[in-house]
Amino acid sequence: MLTRILLITLLLAAPARADELANQLFGAMSDPSRQDPMPVGSYSKGCAAGLAELPETGTTWQAMRLSRGRNFGQPVMIDFLTELSATARDIGFGQGLYIGDISQPRGGPMTSGHASHQIGLDADIWMLPPRSLSLSEAEREAISSIPVRSADQRSVTENWTKVHHALLKAAASDPRVDRIFVAAAVKIEMCKTAKNKDKKWLQKIRPVAGHDTHFHVRLKCPKGARLCETQTPTVAVLSKNGDGCDETLMWWVTDYLNPPKSDGKKPKDEDPPRKKGARELTLADLPKQCQDVLAAD
């Protein structure tokens, strides 16, 4: 009888919930689900089961902006970040790493910022080398990272150092990493000293808008994660098996900044239908397993 009532309740509740905005539902969760770890769906349309919390402070890192509650990631991400932070300290990037947003406790779309970061496999790392790892919670809200890209977007600033280069190389060389997003000027700078042997890791460093005060690491789907959707095209395809130091990179400091005038002839209806933004996704838009992630203990 009880199961029957439960079933009826679920059936009645489900459609209404399916229509609800996913960022409201996932943004309201304060704890990870007690499930086996699993990235569900894609980086920009999904959720995450069984996430782990990045401890707020470690021997070589601090999690920043704790009020946002986004220091949760897949176990593989937490391992990656703690290991990279030790490397950061060893190569002289201050005392380790300041780590920004990873994911919400159960992943999913967010109420502010980020189209991605939904499955626990994305993390933002500050370009500011940590001088202290004993910042208070309030200090971690107040301080800001530093821009390594000039205001005109064309070059790096004096904040960019060889140690930044070494840190990004170390991160991109990690086999768990799928790609890393940086401001185009950063990649252009890294391309200046590129050798043939750098191709494999350098092709993982991808230019994107913004990202002047942090870099964004995206991990591959872990082995056996059957609900996780790998990103395509791969970085090898995007860079045509090269290092990505090519005209598609230079586009960011030419046509992107000064768009050529269009001839205005293209009819409107040739535009592809606009995809929903992260903040417009409803629960029904996400993989159905995300309903279990929300409902789990």
Residues that bind Zn ion (CB under 5 A): 124, 216
Residue 206, CB-side half-sphere exposure with 13 Å CA sphere: 17
**124 vs 198, beta carbon nearer Zn ion:** 124
**100 vs 283, beta carbon nearer Zn ion:** 100
The answer to whether 222 and 74 have CB atoms below 8 angstroms apart is yes
**48 vs 283, beta carbon nearer Zn ion:** 48
Token representation of residue 112: 């502010």
Quote the CA–CA distance of 262 and 226 in Å, as a whole number.
44
The answer to whether 214 and 126 have CB atoms below 8 angstroms apart is yes
The answer to whether 50 and 124 have CB atoms below 8 angstroms apart is no
> Shortest gap between Cβ of 213 and Zn ion (angstroms)?
11
Token representation of residue 135: 């910042």
Residue with smallest beta-carbon separation from Zn ion? 216
> Shortest gap between Cβ of 171 and Zn ion (angstroms)?
13
> Shortest gap between Cβ of 268 and Zn ion (angstroms)?
33
> Shortest gap between Cβ of 291 and Zn ion (angstroms)?
26
Closest CA to 99 of 53, 38, 161: 53
**124 vs 243, beta carbon nearer Zn ion:** 124
Neighbouring C-beta atoms of residue 192, cutoff 10 Å? 8
> Shortest gap between Cβ of 117 and Zn ion (angstroms)?
6
**75 vs 210, beta carbon nearer Zn ion:** 210
Quote the CA–CA distance of 11 and 15 in Å, as a whole number.
7
